[in-house]
Amino acid sequence: MAPNSQSSLSEGKCVIPMTTNDLEHQTTLDQKEFDYSKRSQWLRAALLGASDGLISTASLMMGVGAVRQDIKAMILTGFVGLVAGACSMAIGEFVSVYSQLDIEVAQMKRDNQKKKKNQQVHVVEDDGGDGDDEESLPNPLQAAAASALAFSVGAMVPLLAASFIRGYKVRLGVVAAAVSLALVVFGWLGAKLGKAPVMRSVMRVLVGGWMAMAITFGLTKLIGSSGL
Protein backbone atom coordinates (compact mmCIF):
# COMPACT_ATOMS: atom_id res chain seq x y z
CA MET A 1 0.00 0.00 0.00
CA ALA A 2 2.85 2.44 0.80
CA PRO A 3 4.49 2.36 -2.64
CA ASN A 4 1.14 2.88 -4.33
CA SER A 5 0.29 5.81 -2.09
CA GLN A 6 3.70 7.39 -2.71
CA SER A 7 3.29 7.00 -6.46
CA SER A 8 -0.18 8.57 -6.33
CA LEU A 9 1.19 11.48 -4.35
CA SER A 10 4.03 11.96 -6.81
CA GLU A 11 1.51 11.89 -9.64
CA GLY A 12 -0.56 14.55 -7.88
CA LYS A 13 2.45 16.82 -7.51
CA CYS A 14 3.50 16.68 -11.16
CA VAL A 15 4.48 20.08 -12.62
CA ILE A 16 3.03 21.20 -15.94
CA PRO A 17 5.79 22.72 -18.06
CA MET A 18 5.24 26.23 -19.41
CA THR A 19 4.87 26.52 -23.15
CA THR A 20 6.32 29.21 -25.34
CA ASN A 21 2.98 31.03 -25.45
CA ASP A 22 2.82 31.08 -21.65
CA LEU A 23 6.31 32.56 -21.45
CA GLU A 24 5.45 35.22 -24.03
CA HIS A 25 2.25 36.04 -22.17
CA GLN A 26 4.16 36.39 -18.88
CA THR A 27 6.74 38.63 -20.54
CA THR A 28 3.97 40.82 -21.94
CA LEU A 29 2.40 41.15 -18.50
CA ASP A 30 5.75 42.12 -16.97
CA GLN A 31 6.28 44.71 -19.70
CA LYS A 32 2.82 46.18 -19.08
CA GLU A 33 3.53 46.44 -15.35
CA PHE A 34 6.86 48.14 -16.09
CA ASP A 35 5.23 50.61 -18.45
CA TYR A 36 2.53 51.35 -15.89
CA SER A 37 5.18 51.99 -13.27
CA LYS A 38 6.93 54.51 -15.52
CA ARG A 39 3.64 56.23 -16.33
CA SER A 40 2.72 56.42 -12.66
CA GLN A 41 6.01 58.15 -11.87
CA TRP A 42 5.32 60.83 -14.47
CA LEU A 43 1.75 61.20 -13.26
CA ARG A 44 2.86 61.58 -9.66
CA ALA A 45 5.40 64.23 -10.66
CA ALA A 46 2.73 66.09 -12.62
CA LEU A 47 0.30 65.78 -9.71
CA LEU A 48 2.91 67.14 -7.31
CA GLY A 49 3.58 70.13 -9.58
CA ALA A 50 -0.11 70.88 -9.98
CA SER A 51 -0.70 70.67 -6.21
CA ASP A 52 2.26 72.97 -5.61
CA GLY A 53 0.92 75.52 -8.09
CA LEU A 54 -2.56 75.32 -6.65
CA ILE A 55 -1.61 75.74 -2.98
CA SER A 56 1.16 78.32 -3.39
CA THR A 57 -0.82 80.57 -5.76
CA ALA A 58 -3.99 80.32 -3.69
CA SER A 59 -2.05 81.12 -0.51
CA LEU A 60 -0.49 84.18 -2.15
CA MET A 61 -3.88 85.42 -3.31
CA MET A 62 -5.47 84.81 0.08
CA GLY A 63 -2.59 86.62 1.78
CA VAL A 64 -3.01 89.70 -0.40
CA GLY A 65 -6.77 89.44 0.00
CA ALA A 66 -6.31 89.71 3.76
CA VAL A 67 -5.07 93.32 3.45
CA ARG A 68 -6.33 94.44 0.02
CA GLN A 69 -9.91 94.14 -1.18
CA ASP A 70 -9.02 95.23 -4.72
CA ILE A 71 -9.57 92.44 -7.24
CA LYS A 72 -6.78 93.74 -9.46
CA ALA A 73 -4.17 93.38 -6.72
CA MET A 74 -5.34 89.85 -6.00
CA ILE A 75 -5.26 88.79 -9.65
CA LEU A 76 -1.86 90.37 -10.27
CA THR A 77 -0.44 88.62 -7.22
CA GLY A 78 -1.78 85.29 -8.43
CA PHE A 79 -0.36 85.87 -11.92
CA VAL A 80 3.06 86.78 -10.52
CA GLY A 81 2.98 83.64 -8.39
CA LEU A 82 2.07 81.54 -11.44
CA VAL A 83 4.91 82.88 -13.60
CA ALA A 84 7.53 82.85 -10.86
CA GLY A 85 6.54 79.42 -9.62
CA ALA A 86 6.45 77.87 -13.10
CA CYS A 87 9.89 79.26 -13.91
CA SER A 88 11.27 78.07 -10.60
CA MET A 89 9.84 74.59 -11.03
CA ALA A 90 11.13 74.35 -14.62
CA ILE A 91 14.66 75.48 -13.75
CA GLY A 92 14.84 73.27 -10.67
CA GLU A 93 13.60 70.23 -12.59
CA PHE A 94 15.97 70.93 -15.49
CA VAL A 95 19.00 71.16 -13.20
CA SER A 96 17.98 68.07 -11.24
CA VAL A 97 17.27 65.88 -14.27
CA TYR A 98 20.38 67.12 -16.10
CA SER A 99 22.49 66.09 -13.11
CA GLN A 100 20.86 62.67 -13.20
CA LEU A 101 21.55 62.49 -16.95
CA ASP A 102 25.25 63.25 -16.43
CA ILE A 103 25.48 60.49 -13.81
CA GLU A 104 23.77 57.91 -16.02
CA VAL A 105 25.86 58.81 -19.08
CA ALA A 106 29.06 58.49 -17.06
CA GLN A 107 27.90 55.11 -15.76
CA MET A 108 27.12 53.95 -19.31
CA LYS A 109 30.62 54.94 -20.44
CA ARG A 110 32.17 52.96 -17.59
CA ASP A 111 30.03 49.93 -18.44
CA ASN A 112 31.00 50.11 -22.12
CA GLN A 113 34.68 50.29 -21.22
CA LYS A 114 34.33 47.18 -19.08
CA LYS A 115 32.59 45.35 -21.93
CA LYS A 116 35.35 46.25 -24.36
CA LYS A 117 38.03 45.07 -21.96
CA ASN A 118 36.37 41.78 -21.11
CA GLN A 119 35.25 41.02 -24.69
CA GLN A 120 32.25 39.09 -23.36
CA VAL A 121 29.44 40.73 -25.33
CA HIS A 122 28.94 40.44 -29.08
CA VAL A 123 29.16 43.62 -31.15
CA VAL A 124 25.60 43.32 -32.45
CA GLU A 125 24.24 42.95 -28.91
CA ASP A 126 26.25 45.99 -27.81
CA ASP A 127 24.71 48.12 -30.54
CA GLY A 128 21.19 47.16 -29.57
CA GLY A 129 21.88 47.67 -25.87
CA ASP A 130 23.28 51.16 -26.46
CA GLY A 131 20.12 52.12 -28.32
CA ASP A 132 17.92 50.90 -25.49
CA ASP A 133 20.06 52.72 -22.94
CA GLU A 134 19.85 55.96 -24.89
CA GLU A 135 16.07 55.70 -25.07
CA SER A 136 15.84 55.18 -21.31
CA LEU A 137 17.88 58.29 -20.50
CA PRO A 138 15.94 61.16 -18.89
CA ASN A 139 15.14 64.24 -20.95
CA PRO A 140 15.82 67.46 -18.99
CA LEU A 141 13.85 69.71 -21.36
CA GLN A 142 10.84 67.42 -21.31
CA ALA A 143 10.92 67.21 -17.52
CA ALA A 144 11.24 71.00 -17.18
CA ALA A 145 8.34 71.65 -19.57
CA ALA A 146 6.12 69.07 -17.85
CA SER A 147 6.88 70.52 -14.42
CA ALA A 148 6.16 74.10 -15.51
CA LEU A 149 2.95 73.05 -17.26
CA ALA A 150 1.70 71.10 -14.25
CA PHE A 151 2.41 74.04 -11.93
CA SER A 152 0.61 76.44 -14.29
CA VAL A 153 -2.46 74.21 -14.50
CA GLY A 154 -2.75 74.09 -10.73
CA ALA A 155 -2.18 77.84 -10.38
CA MET A 156 -4.93 78.62 -12.90
CA VAL A 157 -7.63 77.27 -10.57
CA PRO A 158 -7.61 80.12 -7.99
CA LEU A 159 -6.93 82.69 -10.72
CA LEU A 160 -9.99 81.69 -12.72
CA ALA A 161 -12.10 81.42 -9.58
CA ALA A 162 -11.33 85.02 -8.55
CA SER A 163 -11.30 86.66 -11.97
CA PHE A 164 -15.04 87.21 -12.41
CA ILE A 165 -16.18 88.01 -8.86
CA ARG A 166 -16.20 91.61 -7.64
CA GLY A 167 -17.47 91.10 -4.13
CA TYR A 168 -14.60 90.82 -1.65
CA LYS A 169 -15.99 88.25 0.79
CA VAL A 170 -17.66 86.24 -1.95
CA ARG A 171 -14.41 86.20 -3.91
CA LEU A 172 -12.46 84.81 -0.96
CA GLY A 173 -15.10 82.15 -0.39
CA VAL A 174 -15.18 81.11 -4.04
CA VAL A 175 -11.39 80.85 -4.18
CA ALA A 176 -11.33 78.71 -1.03
CA ALA A 177 -14.12 76.48 -2.37
CA ALA A 178 -12.50 76.03 -5.80
CA VAL A 179 -9.13 75.24 -4.26
CA SER A 180 -10.74 72.76 -1.84
CA LEU A 181 -12.47 70.96 -4.71
CA ALA A 182 -9.23 70.78 -6.69
CA LEU A 183 -7.38 69.45 -3.62
CA VAL A 184 -9.97 66.70 -3.24
CA VAL A 185 -9.46 65.71 -6.88
CA PHE A 186 -5.67 65.72 -6.53
CA GLY A 187 -5.86 63.69 -3.33
CA TRP A 188 -8.13 61.15 -5.01
CA LEU A 189 -5.79 60.82 -7.99
CA GLY A 190 -2.78 60.42 -5.71
CA ALA A 191 -4.55 57.67 -3.79
CA LYS A 192 -5.47 55.82 -6.97
CA LEU A 193 -1.94 56.01 -8.34
CA GLY A 194 -0.36 54.94 -5.06
CA LYS A 195 -3.08 52.37 -4.23
CA ALA A 196 -3.53 54.08 -0.86
CA PRO A 197 -6.71 54.67 1.17
CA VAL A 198 -8.69 57.36 -0.65
CA MET A 199 -10.17 59.11 2.38
CA ARG A 200 -6.87 59.37 4.19
CA SER A 201 -5.09 60.75 1.12
CA VAL A 202 -7.86 63.26 0.39
CA MET A 203 -7.97 64.54 3.96
CA ARG A 204 -4.18 64.84 4.12
CA VAL A 205 -4.03 66.98 0.98
CA LEU A 206 -7.13 68.97 1.89
CA VAL A 207 -6.04 69.79 5.44
CA GLY A 208 -2.55 70.70 4.22
CA GLY A 209 -3.96 73.15 1.68
CA TRP A 210 -6.32 74.69 4.25
CA MET A 211 -3.46 75.16 6.69
CA ALA A 212 -1.28 76.85 4.07
CA MET A 213 -4.02 79.30 3.10
CA ALA A 214 -5.07 79.96 6.70
CA ILE A 215 -1.52 80.60 7.93
CA THR A 216 -0.75 82.93 5.02
CA PHE A 217 -4.04 84.80 5.46
CA GLY A 218 -3.64 85.10 9.25
CA LEU A 219 -0.02 86.22 9.27
CA THR A 220 -0.58 88.76 6.50
CA LYS A 221 -3.67 90.10 8.28
CA LEU A 222 -1.71 90.39 11.51
CA ILE A 223 1.23 92.21 9.92
CA GLY A 224 -1.03 94.43 7.85
CA SER A 225 -3.13 95.47 10.84
CA SER A 226 -0.06 96.24 12.96
CA GLY A 227 1.03 98.94 10.51
CA LEU A 228 4.47 97.47 9.70
Exposure b/e, 64-88, CB count within 10 A at least 16 = b: bbbeeeebeebbebbeebbeebbee
Q: Is 70 exceeded by the pLDDT of residue 135?
A: no
Q: Is the pLDDT of residue 130 over 70?
A: no
- Cβ distance 201 to 215 under 8 Å? no
Where in the chain are the domains?
A: 40-107+139-226
Identify each DSSP E strand in 104-182 by its residue range: none
Instruction: Tell me the per-residue pLDDT of 140-191, one tens digit each, with 9 for 90 and over.
Output: 888 888 889 999 999 999 999 999 888 989 999 999 999 999 999 988 988 8
Buried b (16+ CB within 10 A) or exposed e, 162-191: beeeeeeeebbebbbebbeebbbbbbebbb
pLDDT at position 14 is 47
pLDDT tens digits along 54-82:
999 999 999 999 998 889 999 999 999 99
Quickly state the pLDDT bin for 33 (edges 50, 70, 90).
very low
Residue 18: pLDDT above 60? no
Q: Is the model's pLDDT at 2 over the cut of 50?
A: no
Q: pTM for the full model?
A: 0.72
Please give the pLDDT value at position 194: 75
Mean pLDDT over each residue of the chain, to the nearest integer:
79
Q: Which helix (H) or strand (E) holds 10?
A: helix 2-12
